[in-house]
Protein backbone atom coordinates (compact mmCIF):
# COMPACT_ATOMS: atom_id res chain seq x y z
CA UNK A 1 0.00 0.00 0.00
CA UNK A 2 1.17 3.51 -0.66
CA UNK A 3 0.13 6.98 0.40
CA UNK A 4 0.40 9.93 -2.00
CA UNK A 5 0.18 13.43 -0.59
CA UNK A 6 -0.11 15.77 -3.58
CA UNK A 7 0.34 19.50 -3.04
CA UNK A 8 -1.02 21.85 -5.69
CA UNK A 9 0.63 24.95 -7.10
CA UNK A 10 -0.19 28.64 -6.82
CA UNK A 11 -3.74 29.55 -7.82
CA UNK A 12 -4.96 25.95 -8.01
CA UNK A 13 -7.54 24.13 -5.90
CA UNK A 14 -7.09 20.64 -4.48
CA UNK A 15 -10.33 19.29 -6.00
CA UNK A 16 -9.07 20.07 -9.49
CA UNK A 17 -5.42 19.16 -8.85
CA UNK A 18 -6.16 15.66 -7.52
CA UNK A 19 -7.56 14.67 -10.92
CA UNK A 20 -4.00 14.43 -12.29
CA UNK A 21 -3.40 11.55 -9.90
CA UNK A 22 -6.54 9.46 -10.55
CA UNK A 23 -4.46 6.68 -12.14
CA UNK A 24 -2.64 6.09 -8.84
CA UNK A 25 -5.74 4.79 -7.09
CA UNK A 26 -5.77 1.70 -9.29
CA UNK A 27 -2.61 0.50 -7.55
CA UNK A 28 -3.87 0.11 -3.96
CA UNK A 29 -2.86 3.69 -3.21
CA UNK A 30 -4.48 6.40 -1.17
CA UNK A 31 -4.21 9.87 -2.71
CA UNK A 32 -4.64 12.87 -0.42
CA UNK A 33 -4.73 16.42 -1.81
CA UNK A 34 -4.65 19.00 0.96
CA UNK A 35 -5.63 22.50 -0.09
CA UNK A 36 -3.66 25.59 0.85
CA UNK A 37 -5.31 27.66 3.55
CA UNK A 38 -5.27 30.97 1.67
CA UNK A 39 -7.91 31.34 -1.07
CA UNK A 40 -8.27 34.30 -3.41
CA UNK A 41 -9.94 35.40 -6.64
CA UNK A 42 -7.54 34.68 -9.49
CA UNK A 43 -8.79 37.53 -11.70
CA UNK A 44 -9.32 41.22 -10.99
CA UNK A 45 -12.71 42.61 -9.96
CA UNK A 46 -12.97 44.57 -13.21
CA UNK A 47 -12.95 41.30 -15.20
CA UNK A 48 -16.03 39.75 -13.58
CA UNK A 49 -18.27 40.07 -10.53
CA UNK A 50 -17.26 38.02 -7.48
CA UNK A 51 -19.82 35.29 -8.19
CA UNK A 52 -18.19 34.64 -11.59
CA UNK A 53 -14.51 34.99 -10.69
CA UNK A 54 -12.52 31.74 -10.40
CA UNK A 55 -10.98 31.02 -7.01
CA UNK A 56 -7.50 29.65 -6.36
CA UNK A 57 -5.37 29.00 -3.31
CA UNK A 58 -1.83 29.77 -2.26
CA UNK A 59 0.38 28.19 0.38
CA UNK A 60 1.91 31.52 1.35
CA UNK A 61 2.75 35.05 0.32
CA UNK A 62 5.58 37.36 1.33
CA UNK A 63 3.40 38.81 4.13
CA UNK A 64 4.30 37.25 7.51
CA UNK A 65 6.14 34.54 5.59
CA UNK A 66 7.69 32.63 8.51
CA UNK A 67 4.35 32.33 10.30
CA UNK A 68 2.63 31.15 7.11
CA UNK A 69 5.29 28.45 6.60
CA UNK A 70 4.98 27.30 10.22
CA UNK A 71 1.19 27.27 9.88
CA UNK A 72 1.13 25.13 6.75
CA UNK A 73 3.70 22.67 8.10
CA UNK A 74 1.54 22.23 11.22
CA UNK A 75 -1.60 21.98 9.05
CA UNK A 76 -0.05 19.32 6.79
CA UNK A 77 1.10 17.33 9.85
CA UNK A 78 -2.49 17.47 11.14
CA UNK A 79 -3.85 16.31 7.77
CA UNK A 80 -1.36 13.43 7.77
CA UNK A 81 -2.35 12.42 11.29
CA UNK A 82 -6.06 12.65 10.48
CA UNK A 83 -5.95 10.44 7.39
CA UNK A 84 -3.39 7.89 8.58
CA UNK A 85 -4.11 7.77 12.29
CA UNK A 86 -0.61 9.20 12.80
CA UNK A 87 1.25 6.11 11.63
CA UNK A 88 0.94 4.60 8.15
CA UNK A 89 0.16 0.92 7.81
CA UNK A 90 3.26 -1.21 8.30
CA UNK A 91 5.28 -1.43 5.08
CA UNK A 92 3.42 1.43 3.40
CA UNK A 93 5.29 4.01 1.36
CA UNK A 94 4.59 7.69 1.96
CA UNK A 95 5.10 9.76 -1.18
CA UNK A 96 4.93 13.54 -1.19
CA UNK A 97 4.56 15.37 -4.51
CA UNK A 98 4.66 19.13 -4.75
CA UNK A 99 3.92 21.00 -7.97
CA UNK A 100 5.31 24.51 -8.56
CA UNK A 101 4.70 26.51 -5.33
CA UNK A 102 3.63 23.18 -3.83
CA UNK A 103 7.17 21.86 -4.44
CA UNK A 104 8.65 24.35 -1.96
CA UNK A 105 5.78 23.55 0.41
CA UNK A 106 6.43 19.80 0.10
CA UNK A 107 10.16 20.23 0.69
CA UNK A 108 9.56 22.36 3.79
CA UNK A 109 7.01 19.86 5.11
CA UNK A 110 9.40 16.93 4.72
CA UNK A 111 12.32 18.93 6.15
CA UNK A 112 10.47 20.57 9.07
CA UNK A 113 7.34 18.50 9.71
CA UNK A 114 6.62 15.03 11.07
CA UNK A 115 5.66 13.24 7.84
CA UNK A 116 7.66 9.98 7.52
CA UNK A 117 8.13 10.43 3.78
CA UNK A 118 9.91 7.74 1.82
CA UNK A 119 9.81 9.71 -1.43
CA UNK A 120 9.71 13.41 -2.28
CA UNK A 121 8.91 14.54 -5.82
CA UNK A 122 9.43 18.21 -6.64
CA UNK A 123 7.58 18.92 -9.89
CA UNK A 124 8.45 22.21 -11.55
CA UNK A 125 10.01 23.53 -8.35
CA UNK A 126 13.08 23.47 -6.13
CA UNK A 127 14.04 22.96 -2.50
CA UNK A 128 13.70 26.45 -0.97
CA UNK A 129 16.88 27.97 0.49
CA UNK A 130 15.35 28.04 3.99
CA UNK A 131 14.69 24.27 4.14
CA UNK A 132 16.77 22.53 6.81
CA UNK A 133 19.09 20.15 4.96
CA UNK A 134 20.54 18.56 8.11
CA UNK A 135 17.61 17.58 10.35
CA UNK A 136 17.26 13.96 11.63
CA UNK A 137 15.89 10.84 9.96
CA UNK A 138 12.82 12.53 8.48
CA UNK A 139 14.91 15.23 6.83
CA UNK A 140 15.68 15.38 3.15
CA UNK A 141 18.62 12.97 3.56
CA UNK A 142 16.22 10.21 4.51
CA UNK A 143 14.02 10.30 1.41
CA UNK A 144 14.32 9.44 -2.24
CA UNK A 145 14.23 12.88 -3.85
CA UNK A 146 13.25 13.35 -7.50
CA UNK A 147 12.94 16.56 -9.48
CA UNK A 148 10.57 16.59 -12.47
CA UNK A 149 10.99 19.25 -15.15
CA UNK A 150 9.23 19.88 -18.44
CA UNK A 151 11.39 20.76 -21.44
CA UNK A 152 9.45 24.01 -21.90
CA UNK A 153 8.90 24.97 -18.26
CA UNK A 154 8.92 28.78 -18.24
CA UNK A 155 9.21 29.05 -14.44
CA UNK A 156 12.19 26.76 -13.85
CA UNK A 157 15.36 26.70 -15.95
CA UNK A 158 17.81 23.86 -16.41
CA UNK A 159 20.52 26.06 -14.84
CA UNK A 160 18.45 26.67 -11.69
CA UNK A 161 17.68 22.97 -11.41
CA UNK A 162 21.35 22.02 -11.85
CA UNK A 163 22.34 24.53 -9.19
CA UNK A 164 19.78 23.09 -6.72
CA UNK A 165 20.90 19.51 -7.40
CA UNK A 166 24.53 20.57 -6.77
CA UNK A 167 23.57 22.45 -3.56
CA UNK A 168 21.85 19.36 -2.20
CA UNK A 169 24.72 17.09 -3.24
CA UNK A 170 27.13 19.31 -1.25
CA UNK A 171 24.88 18.69 1.77
CA UNK A 172 25.02 14.92 1.18
CA UNK A 173 21.52 14.72 -0.32
CA UNK A 174 21.28 12.69 -3.50
CA UNK A 175 18.56 13.31 -6.04
CA UNK A 176 17.47 12.25 -9.48
CA UNK A 177 15.92 14.21 -12.33
CA UNK A 178 13.09 13.15 -14.63
CA UNK A 179 12.49 15.28 -17.70
CA UNK A 180 9.49 15.22 -20.00
CA UNK A 181 8.38 16.98 -23.14
CA UNK A 182 6.06 19.73 -21.96
CA UNK A 183 5.72 22.93 -19.99
CA UNK A 184 4.92 23.88 -16.42
CA UNK A 185 2.26 21.19 -16.04
CA UNK A 186 1.71 17.81 -14.44
CA UNK A 187 2.20 15.23 -17.18
CA UNK A 188 0.35 11.95 -16.73
CA UNK A 189 2.96 10.22 -18.93
CA UNK A 190 5.79 11.46 -16.68
CA UNK A 191 3.81 10.43 -13.60
CA UNK A 192 3.44 6.91 -15.04
CA UNK A 193 7.22 6.86 -15.57
CA UNK A 194 7.76 7.84 -11.91
CA UNK A 195 5.41 5.16 -10.58
CA UNK A 196 6.42 2.28 -12.87
CA UNK A 197 8.15 -0.63 -11.23
Helices within 6-64 (DSSP H only): 14-17
Q: How confident is the model over 131-179, as pLDDT tens digits?
A: 878 775 557 888 999 999 999 999 999 999 999 999 999 888 999 999 9
pLDDT confidence band for 88 (50 / 70 / 90): low
Q: What is the pLDDT of residue 77?
A: 96
Average the pLDDT over 8-28 and give the result.
Answer: 89
**pTM (predicted TM-score):** 0.93
CATH code, domain carrying 146: 3.40.50.1820
- Domain containing residue 39: 2-195
Q: Is the pLDDT of residue 128 over 70?
A: yes
What pLDDT, on a 0 to 100 scale, did the predictor assign at position 28? 77
Mean pLDDT of 15-29: 86
On the 0-12 / 13-18 / 19+ scale of CB atoms within 10 A, 93 is middle
Confidence bin at 25 (pLDDT 50/70/90): confident
Residue 9 pLDDT level (bands cut at 50, 70, 90): very high
Whether residue 180 is predicted with pLDDT greater than 80 in this model: the reply is yes
- Distance separating alpha carbons of residues 111 and 118, to the nearest angstrom: 12
User: How many domains is the chain partitioned into structurally?
Assistant: 1
pLDDT of residue 52: 81
Burial class (CB in 10 A: 0-12, 13-18, 19+), 38: middle
Q: Give the whole-angstrom CA distance, residue 40 versus residue 13.
A: 10
- Least Cα distance to 156 among 112, 104, 117, 108 occurs for 104
pLDDT at 1: 79
pLDDT, residue 45, reads 79
Least confidently predicted of 20-29, 36-45, 78-87, 187-196? 20-29
CB within 8 Å of 13: residues ≥ 6 apart: 35, 55, 56, 57
Sign of CA dihedral 10, 11, 14, 19: negative
Amino acid sequence: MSWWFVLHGYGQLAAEFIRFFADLTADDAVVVAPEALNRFYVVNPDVAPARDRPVGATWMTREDRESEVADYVEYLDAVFDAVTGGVPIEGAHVNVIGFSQGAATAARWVAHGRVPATRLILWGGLVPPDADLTRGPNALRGVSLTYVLGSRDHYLSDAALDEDVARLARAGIQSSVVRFDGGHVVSRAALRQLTAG
